């Protein structure tokens, strides 16, 4: 005999109430929050709270990308993590993106830096490699069980930044992208529907902001949130070196949009004023 409907409803309500009373913090926190409450020091630190291990992924491990390195948090007590793949720019080896690996993974992300098939690959090819590497990470990699396949992102420098925009256009399910000094022949990214942080450099003479980062940012009419971080006294190659400003805003962007972690909103909104390292910051001021 089925229990009366009223009893079922009452039991469900009681269970939910007890869960809230028993753990109010969990009830308020988003389900994907990982790690302790952030501070300015923690988002600027060289390492976050998670211990990190790395795995070398050799060529021919899976279709669609060449080879790379996975950096992952060793903690399995807090559930799965979001994942981000990162590809460098024209003529650049994977090692130019290596600093992002432990820096981001130690904050609670599975990160894979990529060696492109060719250092000459065009941006759209780099987009496909980043997406193929995400598929590998979530389906057959050694860390697949550590990753939430619904919370993925890409980043890249220069032609890898242009590739990041193309990747989001091709795969709207991406939760965040961070093009770094992006370069692409396409100016119109109005089809992108992913929260996008564009990092640009005020002295970039390779991907000049007037013909790249600025029109890219302005075209992002469908991105639910977007930001434009113009680094001060910085050239095209700034993103290949450890950079506290890039790290702080990248971590905050990934936390806010891959993890829906509003504890990081404080670093994004209100936007930062111009400073020694920030020439300009434009955004849609996410809540």
Tell me whether residue 190 is one of the annotated catalytic residues.
Answer: no
Structure tokens that stand for 248 in this block = 């702080």
Q: Would you say 73 and 51 are in contact if contact means Cβ atoms under 8 Å apart?
A: yes
Show the binding pattern over residues 242-271: x = contacts ligand 9J3 (CB under 6 A), - = does not: ------------------------------
Q: Would you say 66 and 133 are in contact if contact means Cβ atoms under 8 Å apart?
A: no
Active-site residue, selected from the candidate residues 141, 212, 236, 252 = 236
Tell me whether residue 259 is one of the annotated catalytic residues.
Answer: no
Answer yes or no whether residue 206 interacts with ligand 9J3 by CB under 6 A.
yes
Number of residues that bind ligand 9J3 (CB under 6 A): 7
Whole-number Å distance between alpha carbons of 168 and 192: 6
Q: Would you say 190 and 222 are in contact if contact means Cβ atoms under 8 Å apart?
A: yes
DSSP helix/strand/coil, 126: helix
User: Which DSSP category does 97 fall into?
Assistant: G
In the complex, minimum distance from the CB of residue 207 to ligand 9J3, in angstroms, rounded to a whole number: 6
Active-site residue, selected from the candidate residues 106, 158, 164, 219 = 158
Answer yes or no whether residue 207 interacts with ligand 9J3 by CB under 6 A.
yes
DSSP helix/strand/coil, 57: strand
In the complex, minimum distance from the CB of residue 213 to ligand 9J3, in angstroms, rounded to a whole number: 12
Residue among 70 and 230 whose Cβ is closer to ligand 9J3 = 230
Answer yes or no whether residue 228 interacts with ligand 9J3 by CB under 6 A.
no
Answer yes or no whether residue 158 interacts with ligand 9J3 by CB under 6 A.
yes
Tell me whether residue 95 is one of the annotated catalytic residues.
Answer: no
Q: Which of residues 74-103 bind ligand 9J3 (CB under 6 A)?
A: 89-90
In the complex, minimum distance from the CB of residue 182 to ligand 9J3, in angstroms, rounded to a whole number: 9
Show the binding pattern over residues 10-49: x = contacts ligand 9J3 (CB under 6 A), - = does not: ----------------------------------------
In the complex, minimum distance from the CB of residue 135 to ligand 9J3, in angstroms, rounded to a whole number: 24
Q: What CA–CA distances, in Å, run from 176 to 17, 66, 251?
A: 34, 23, 11
Backbone angles phi, psi at 245, to 5 degrees: -70, -45
Count of all residues that appear for the chain in the document: 287
Q: Would you say 259 and 151 are in contact if contact means Cβ atoms under 8 Å apart?
A: yes
Residue among 90 and 281 whose Cβ is closer to ligand 9J3 = 90
Q: CA Rg, the chain, in Å?
A: 20
In the complex, minimum distance from the CB of residue 120 to ligand 9J3, in angstroms, rounded to a whole number: 9
Answer yes or no whether residue 183 interacts with ligand 9J3 by CB under 6 A.
yes
- Lookup result for tokens 């190659």: 237
Q: Would you say 195 and 211 are in contact if contact means Cβ atoms under 8 Å apart?
A: no
Mode of pairing for the β-strands spanning 196-203 and 176-180: parallel
Q: Which residues bind ligand 9J3 (CB under 6 A)?
A: 89-90, 158-159, 183, 206-207
Positions marked active-site: 158, 204, 236
């Amino acid at each position: 005999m089925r229990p009366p409907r009223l009893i079922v409803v009452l039991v469900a309500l009681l269970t939910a109430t007890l869960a809230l009373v028993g753990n109010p913090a969990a009830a308020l926190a988003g389900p994907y929050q990982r790690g302790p409450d952030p501070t300015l020091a923690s988002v600027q630190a060289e390492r976050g709270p998670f211990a990190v291990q790395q795995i070398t992924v050799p060529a021919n491990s899976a279709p669609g990308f060449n080879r790379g390195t996975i950096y992952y948090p060793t903690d399995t007590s807090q559930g799965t993590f979001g994942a981000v793949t990162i590809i460098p720019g024209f003529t650049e080896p994977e090692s130019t993106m290596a600093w992002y690996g432990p820096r981001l993974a130690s904050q609670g992300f599975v990160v894979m830096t990529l060696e492109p098939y060719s250092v000459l690959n065009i941006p759209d090819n780099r987009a496909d490699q980043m997406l193929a590497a995400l598929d590998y990470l979530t389906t057959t990699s050694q860390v697949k069980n550590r990753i939430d396949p619904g919370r993925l992102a890409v980043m890249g420098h220069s032609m890898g930044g242009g590739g990041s925009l193309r990747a989001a256009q091709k795969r709207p399910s991406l939760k965040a992208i961070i093009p770094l000094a992006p370069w692409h022949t396409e100016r119109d990214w109005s089809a992108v529907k992913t929260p996008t942080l564009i990092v640009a450099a005020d002295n970039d003479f390779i991907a000049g902001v007037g013909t790249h980062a600025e029109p890219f940012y302005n075209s992002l009419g469908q991105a639910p949130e977007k930001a434009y971080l113009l680094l001060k006294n910085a050239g095209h190659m700034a993103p290949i070196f450890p950079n506290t400003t890039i790290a702080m805003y990248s971590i905050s962007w990934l936390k806010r949009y891959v993890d829906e972690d509003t504890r990081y909103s404080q670093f994004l909104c209100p936007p930062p004023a111009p400073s020694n390292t920030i020439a300009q910051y434009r955004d849609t001021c996410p809540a």
